[in-house]
Amino acid sequence: MKTDVLIIGAGPSGTASAAILKKEGFDVVIVEKTTFPRFVIGESLLPRCMDLLDEAGLLDAIKEQGYKEKHGAKFYRGKDTCEFNFGEQYTKGQTWTWQVPRADFDKVLADEVAKKGVTVLYNSTVENVAFTTNKVTTTVNIKGEEKTITSKYIIDGSGYGRVLPNLLDLNIPSTLPVRSAFFTHIDDTNRAQDIESSRIQVVVLKADVWIWIIPFSNGKTSLGVVGDLSFIDKTKSNEENFRTLLTSNEFLNPRFGKNKFEFEPKIINGYSAGVKQLYGEKYVLTGNSTEFLDPIFSSGVTFALESGVLAAKLVVKELNNEKVDWGKEYSEYILQGVAVFRSYVDRWYDETLQTVFFSNEINSDIKGQICSVLAGYVWDNTNPFIKKHKKMVQTLAKVIEIKKSETA
Ligand X SMILES: Cc1cc2nc3c(=O)[nH]c(=O)nc-3n(C[C@H](O)[C@H](O)[C@H](O)COP(=O)(O)OP(=O)(O)OC[C@H]3O[C@@H](n4cnc5c(N)ncnc54)[C@H](O)[C@@H]3O)c2cc1C
By CB under 6 A, the residues from 181 to 220 that bind ligand X are 181
- The residue (of 72 and 161) whose beta carbon lies closer to ligand X is 161
Q: How far is the CB of 331 from ligand X (least distance, A)?
A: 17
Q: Which of these segments, 10-18, 240-248, 346-354, 361-369, binds ligand X (CB under 6 A)?
A: 10-18
When binding is defined by CB under 6 A, the residue of 22, 33, 220, 389 that contacts ligand X is: 33
Identify the helix (H) or strand (E) that includes residue 107. Answer: helix 102-115
Q: Which of these segments, 31-39, 54-62, 144-152, 320-328, binds ligand X (CB under 6 A)?
A: 31-39
Distance CA 376, CA 378 (A): 5
Give me the residues paired with residue 99 across strands. 44, 68
Q: Which of these segments, 228-236, 284-292, 316-324, 365-373, binds ligand X (CB under 6 A)?
A: 284-292
The strands making up 283-285's β-sheet, listed across from edge to edge, are: 119-121, 28-31, 5-8, 153-156, 283-285, 279-280
When binding is defined by CB under 6 A, the residue of 7, 18, 32, 340 that contacts ligand X is: 32
ω into 37 cis (within 30 of 0):
yes
Establish if 301 lies at the interface with ligand X (CB under 6 A).
yes
Provide the angle, in degrees to the nearest 10, between the axes of the packed helices 300-319 and 12-23.
Answer: 30
Establish if 268 lies at the interface with ligand X (CB under 6 A).
yes
Question: Count residues contacting ligand X (CB under 6 A)?
Answer: 39
- The residue (of 265 and 368) whose beta carbon lies closer to ligand X is 265
Site string for ligand X, 52-91 (x = CB under 6 A): ----------------------------------------
Distance CA 169, CA 179 (A): 23
- The string of DSSP codes covering 38-89 is ---S--B--THHHHHHHHTT-HHHHHTT-PEEE-EEEEEETTEEEEEEGGG-
Nearest to 272 by CA among 323, 226, 233, 213: 226
Binding residues for ligand X, rule: CB under 6 A, are 8-14, 31-34, 40-45, 125-126, 157-161, 163, 181, 224, 268, 271, 287-288, 292, 295, 298-302, 304
